[in-house]
């Protein structure tokens, strides 16, 4: 962790290093929580970091990284780092900080809403749309949230349409206002790689630029060559996966535009299989990383591989941050397998982990109500729906169910 931190002081834009540092901090504090004395010392560190925000936001980023080593999922520390990153014109750091919070905590509007805004400002419309989908699940009857989801879907569609208008990836460059500058920069990067083909930094810079201008196929090829030269570099593998994902999305958009439903279906299946395979490789590579198991389990669940997904969720629930959500997914999986009594046990266990009424508790009660309805236990079903109705009359179709 000391070495990672030293590297980030030299080059704060190394996002892979920052993520590894934060992941290590999460593992460390999960295994051995930071003591009260150490946490008390963060008060002065937070004030110092806050004081540097206006004059030297990059210094604030460094200081908040020290704080996040002790408490990596602290929202106050994370928010200050995001504010500093935006002030320092480094929004990618703010995005990553919020992404790490999102991955390791329960769905939270305070995380999802600013993250959606950052995704929009950086033209990551697919990620923005995913955020707004999560937001509308937390606020299903909020008209503003529903409008933002609709607007996000329109931006995503327009982004795809922009890609489809080009005959090739290079045409995208030529039709941009700054096309000449972009072509020159691309040529310079290609020349640097040609002069030093084994230089990993040059190759990564070229791939990053190809990705930026949506030459996804070329980016994949550049990264694959780098992997052959340097072996299984995790950073290159991650970038190759992202470029391959975007390439499939690009081709899917083309097929949708041509109303080629067969190709669309095939490409969507290919994307799901690729995501699942990549997640499986990560789990095999890092068998003790419970967050990876949780993400893998979700992909298996969405692919309807229920037995394997349950097995992975059973392991992932050992992560305190993912325990309740793992139990909910297991309940839904057992329900799909028509093992209703076991499904109810999962939901009841998850409910016992929660205090007070929040969106997660509502979701669990609603699922339990549906199961009781299916098993003919109308009294228990009514109790579940009434508990939601008493605090949120607009949740799902609870009002209709209770009033009828």
Give 174-227 pLDDT, tens digit per residue: 444 345 556 677 778 888 888 888 887 888 888 888 887 778 888 888 888 888
Decide which of 140, 164, 188 is a domain's last residue: 164
pTM value is: 0.51
Specify whether 64 is located in the same domain as 91. yes
Question: Nearest-CA neighbor of 18 among 62, 58, 56, 75?
Answer: 62
Specify whether 121 is located in the same domain as 263. no
| Cβ atoms 56, 74 nearer than 8 A | no
Task: Spell out a b/e string for 227-240, using b for 16 or more CB atoms within 10 Å of the CB, else e.
Answer: eeeeeebebbbebb
pLDDT mean over 281-291? 88
What proportion of the chain, given as a percentage, has pLDDT over 70?
A: 92
Specify whether 159 is located in the same domain as 187. no
| Cβ atoms 366, 401 nearer than 8 A | no
Residue 88 covered by a domain: yes
Residue 346 covered by a domain: no
Instruction: Give me the pLDDT at residue 239, please.
Output: 82
Specify whether 159 is located in the same domain as 202. no
Instruction: Give me the pLDDT at residue 233, please.
Output: 59
Three-class HEC string of the chain: CHHHHHHHHHCCCCHHHHHHHHHHHHHHHHHCCCCHHHHHHHHHHHHHHHHCCCCCHHHHHHHHHHHHHHCCCCHHHHHHHHHHHHHCCCHHHHHHHHHHHHHHCCCCHHHHHHHHHHHHHCCCHHHHHHHHHHHHHHCCCCHHHHHHHHHHHHHHHHHHHHHHCCCCHHHHHHHCCCHHHHHHHHHHHHHHHHHCCCCHHHHHHHHHHHHHCCCHHHHHHHHHHHHHHHCCCHHHHHHHHHHHHHHHHHHHHHHHHCCCHHHHHHHHHHHHHHHHHHHHHHHHHCCCCHHHHHHHHHHHHHCCCHHHHHHHHHHHCCCCCCHHHHHHHHHHHHHHCCCHHHHHHHHHHHHHCCCCCCHHHHHHHHHHHHHHHHHCCHHHHHHHHHHHHCCCCCCCCHHHHHHC
Dist. CA 262–CA 260, nearest whole Å: 6
Query: Lowest-confidence range among 3-7, 229-233, 243-247?
Result: 229-233
Residue 145 covered by a domain: yes
**Two structure tokens written together for 125:** 């419309």
Dist. CA 164–CA 204, nearest whole Å: 26
- The rounded mean pLDDT for the chain is 85
Dist. CA 294–CA 292, nearest whole Å: 5
Specify whether 184 is located in the same domain as 134. no
More confident residue, 214 or 371: 371
∠ CA 77-81-83, rounded to 5°? 115
Residue 55 covered by a domain: yes
Dist. CA 44–CA 108, nearest whole Å: 27
Query: Based on the structure, what is the number of domains in the chain?
Result: 2
Dist. CA 187–CA 193, nearest whole Å: 10
| Cβ atoms 199, 212 nearer than 8 A | no
Rounded (10°) angle between helices 15-31 and 234-257 = 110
Residue 93 covered by a domain: yes
Query: Lowest-confidence range among 132-136, 181-185, 299-303?
Result: 181-185
| Cβ atoms 352, 345 nearer than 8 A | no
Specify whether 158 is located in the same domain as 201. no
Specify whether 116 is located in the same domain as 239. no
Torsional sign, CA 180, 182, 185, 190: negative
Instruction: Give me the pLDDT at residue 234, please.
Output: 59
Domain housing 200: 169-270
Dist. CA 402–CA 384, nearest whole Å: 10
Torsional sign, CA 137, 140, 144, 150: positive
Decide which of 233, 255, 270 is a domain's last residue: 270
**Two structure tokens written together for 209:** 């630029």
Instruction: Give me the pLDDT at residue 30, please.
Output: 82
**Two structure tokens written together for 265:** 């279906």
346 has pLDDT over 80: yes
Specify whether 157 is located in the same domain as 188. no
- Kindly indicate the confidence band of residue 356, based on its pLDDT and cuts at 50, 70 and 90: confident
Q: What is the CA radius of gyration of the chain?
A: 23
Specify whether 144 is located in the same domain as 181. no
Residue 280 covered by a domain: no
More confident residue, 40 or 284: 284
Question: Nearest-CA neighbor of 229 among 204, 211, 192?
Answer: 204
Specify whether 99 is located in the same domain as 190. no
Specify whether 204 is located in the same domain as 158. no
């Amino acid at each position: 962790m000391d070495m990672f931190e030293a590297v980030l002081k030299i080059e704060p834009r190394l996002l892979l290093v920052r993520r590894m540092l934060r992941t290590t901090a999460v593992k460390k504090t999960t295994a051995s929580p930071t003591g009260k004395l150490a946490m008390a010392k963060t008060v002065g560190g937070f004030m110092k970091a806050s004081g540097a925000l206006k004059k030297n936001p990059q210094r604030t980023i460094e200081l908040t990284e020290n704080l996040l080593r002790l408490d990596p999922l602290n929202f106050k520390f994370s928010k200050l780092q995001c504010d500093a990153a935006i002030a320092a014109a480094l929004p990618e750091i703010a995005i990553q900080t919020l992404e790490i919070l999102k991955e390791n905590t329960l769905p939270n509007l305070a995380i999802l809403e600013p993250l959606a805004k950052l995704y929009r400002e950086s033209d990551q419309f697919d990620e923005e749309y995913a955020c707004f989908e999560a937001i509308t699940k937390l606020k299903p009857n909020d008209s503003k949230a529903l409008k933002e989801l609709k607007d996000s879907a329109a931006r995503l569609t327009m982004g795809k349409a922009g890609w489809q208008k080009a005959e090739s990836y290079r045409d995208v460059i030529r039709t941009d206002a700054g096309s000449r500058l972009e072509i020159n920069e691309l040529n310079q990067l290609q020349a640097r790689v040609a002069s030093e083909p084994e230089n990993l930094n040059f190759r990564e810079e070229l791939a990053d630029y190809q990705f930026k201008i949506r030459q996804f196929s070329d980016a994949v090829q550049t990264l694959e060559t780098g992997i052959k030269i340097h072996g299984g570099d995790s950073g290159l593998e991650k970038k190759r996966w992202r470029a391959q994902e975007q390439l499939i999305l690009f081709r899917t958009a083309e097929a949708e535009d041509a109303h080629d439903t067969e190709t669309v279906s095939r490409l969507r299946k290919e994307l799901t299989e690729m995501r699942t395979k990549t997640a499986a490789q990560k789990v095999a590579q890092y068998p003790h990383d419970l967050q990876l198991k949780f993400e893998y389990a979700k992909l298996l669940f969405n692919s309807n591989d229920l037995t394997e997904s349950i097995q992975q969720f059973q392991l992932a629930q050992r992560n305190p941050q993912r325990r309740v959500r793992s139990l909910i997914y297991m309940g839904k999986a057992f329900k799909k397998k028509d093992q209703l009594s076991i499904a109810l046990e999962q939901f009841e266990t998850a409910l016992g982990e929660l205090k007070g009424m929040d969106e997660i508790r509502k979701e669990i009660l609603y699922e339990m109500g549906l199961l009781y309805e299916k098993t003919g236990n109308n009294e228990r079903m009514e109790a579940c729906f009434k508990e939601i109705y008493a605090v949120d009359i607009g949740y799902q179709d609870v009002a209709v169910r209770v009033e009828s």
